[in-house]
Amino acid sequence: MRTFGLTGGIGMGKSTAGEILRGLGCQVIDTDAIARELTEPGQPGLIEIRQAFGDECFGPGDRLRRDVLARRVFASESDRRQLEGILHPRIRANWMARIESWRHQAVPIAVVIIPLLFETDAAQDLDVTVCVACSDALQQQRLAERGWTTEQIHQRIQAQMPVRRKIELADYVVWNCAGLDVLEAQLARILACG
Read off the pLDDT band of 41 (50, 70, 90).
very high
CATH architecture assigned to 2-193: 3-Layer(aba) Sandwich (3.40)
Q: Supply the pTM of this predicted model.
A: 0.91
Smallest CA-to-CA distance from 65 within 44, 86, 41, 43 is with 41
* pLDDT for 57: 95
Domain boundaries, the chain: 2-193
* pLDDT for 194: 63
Read off the pLDDT band of 65 (50, 70, 90).
very high
Calpha distance 38→27 (Å, rounded)? 20
CA geometry: angle 41, 44, 48, nearest 5 deg: 100
Q: Provide φ and ψ at 11, rounded to 5°.
A: 80, 10
The amino acid sitting at 62 is D
Q: What is the pLDDT of residues 112-122, one digit of tens each?
A: 999 999 999 99
